[in-house]
């Protein structure tokens, strides 16, 4: 039987997380890393297994302990990722590329490709990783990071909401102009806006109330995936409602609807069928129906059971977050 997801932290205060029991060790040749600098950091400090092969429960536990992600949001991301990128039969997920280490795959069209897989979670207009159509979607890219020089223009040398508002919009404009295959619908629409807030909510030291992220600290996480010396995690859990509040700040500055280029550059067209941020339950339901379901059109037996169980865990996130969503019915 699949283990139930971990509950919330009992103490959500700021605390030292770069501790001697979780030392930074650079990944070895067989350790897998991927497009998420947060999970890469947790692996490099042993909060999740250093080989980069994890269970969704281990992710929930670690993002709470290391970064004070709220239980609702942690469940939402961990089970969403596992449902599309993980092996539902072995309960293992690669935080990077596809590997035999997650065990024998269920049948195609299931991908079980790890977090590097394009479209189902990883997507375009990332801050420090190139669009898949244009290059390497998972390793740190210095040219992209240099655009964080936006921070000098809008944030007095720090990354903060004033910067994130402009940077998110600029990254979208850049992909529209350069990537004929630019895809910015569900789930990427939601993850791209959330991730622009993550450096502010998760990487500013929990004792620092300014809302300003030092760029050396940003680089330490984005590039090296390493906690700064003496780093305290945030003092406030980032819940679903909190992240949606952050997203609104960015969206209101430059509203862009979910959409895509249609095969040529500069052809961005809004897709009215892809839910926007005013409809979180639509994001949840659309993900289950349009992203997860096509990977498992005719699952049966233990696979179907695991699929529905993980969908229950995903839905539990919306219940804990008081989002008022109706559960998408089990697949049969």
Which residues are at the interface with ligand HEM (CB under 6 A)? 35-39, 59, 63, 67, 69, 74, 77-78, 81, 115, 121-123, 126-129, 191, 195, 198-199, 202
| SS3 (DSSP) at 31 | coil
Q: How far is the CB of 332 from ligand HEM (least distance, A)?
A: 27
The answer to the question of residue 175 lying near Mg ion (CB under 5 A) is no
Compute the least distance from the CB of residue 56 to ligand HEM, in Å. Answer: 8
- Residue among 126, 128, 141, 261 that touches Mg ion (CB under 5 A): 126
The site for Mg ion, by CB under 5 A, has a size of: 4
Q: Residue 137 or residue 185: which is nearer to Mg ion going by CB? A: 137
Closest-CB residue for ligand HEM?
38
Residue 142, phi then psi, degrees to nearest 5: -65, -40
Q: Which residue's CB is nearer to ligand HEM, number 50 or number 129?
A: 129
CB of 264 to ligand HEM, least distance (A): 22
Distance CA 214, CA 195 (A): 17
CB-nearer residue toward ligand HEM: 189 or 198: 198
227 binds, among Mg ion, ligand HEM, none (CB under 5 to 8 A by kind): none
**What string marks each residue from 77 to 116 as x (binds Mg ion by CB under 5 A) or -?**
----------------------------------------
Q: Which is nearer to ligand HEM, 45 or 129 (CB)?
A: 129
Binding residues for Mg ion, rule: CB under 5 A, are 122, 126, 129, 137
């Amino acid at each position: 039987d699949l283990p139930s997801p971990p509950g919330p932290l009992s103490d959500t205060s700021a605390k030292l997380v770069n501790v001697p029991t979780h030392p930074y060790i650079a990944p070895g040749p067989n350790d897998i890393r991927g497009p998420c600098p947060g999970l890469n950091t947790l692996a490099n400090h042993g909060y999740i297994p250093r080989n980069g092969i994890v269970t969704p429960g281990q992710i929930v536990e670690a993002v709470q302990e290391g970064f004070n992600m709220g239980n609702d949001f942690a469940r939402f991301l961990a089970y969403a990722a596992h449902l599309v990128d993980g092996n539902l039969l072995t309960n293992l997920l690669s935080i990077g590329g596809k590997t035999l280490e997650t065990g024998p795959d269920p049948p195609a069209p299931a991908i079980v490709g790890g977090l590097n897989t394009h479209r189902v979670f990883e997507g375009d207009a990332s801050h420090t990783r190139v669009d898949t159509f244009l290059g390497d979607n998972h390793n740190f890219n210095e040219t992209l990071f240099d655009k964080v020089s936006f921070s000098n223009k809008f944030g007095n040398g720090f990354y903060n909401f004033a910067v994130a508002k402009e940077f998110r919009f600029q990254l979208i404009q850049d992909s529209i102009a350069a990537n004929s295959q630019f895809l910015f619908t569900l789930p990427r629409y939601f993850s791209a806006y959330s991730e622009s807030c993550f450096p502010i909510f998760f990487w500013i030291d929990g004792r620092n109330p300014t809302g300003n992220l030092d760029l050396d600290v940003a680089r330490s996480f984005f590039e090296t995936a390493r906690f700064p010396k003496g780093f305290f995690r945030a003092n406030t859990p980032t819940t679903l409602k909190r992240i949606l509040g952050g997203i609104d700040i960015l969206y209101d500055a430059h509203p862009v609807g979910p959409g895509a280029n249609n095969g040529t550059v500069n052809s961005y067209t809004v897709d009215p069928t892809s839910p926007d941020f005013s409809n979180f339950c639509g994001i949840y339901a659309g993900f289950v129906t349009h992203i997860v379901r096509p990977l498992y059109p005719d699952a049966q037996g233990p696979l179907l059971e695991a699929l529905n169980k993980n969908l229950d865990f995903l839905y539990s996130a919306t219940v804990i977050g008081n989002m008022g969503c109706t559960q998408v019915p089990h697949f049969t």
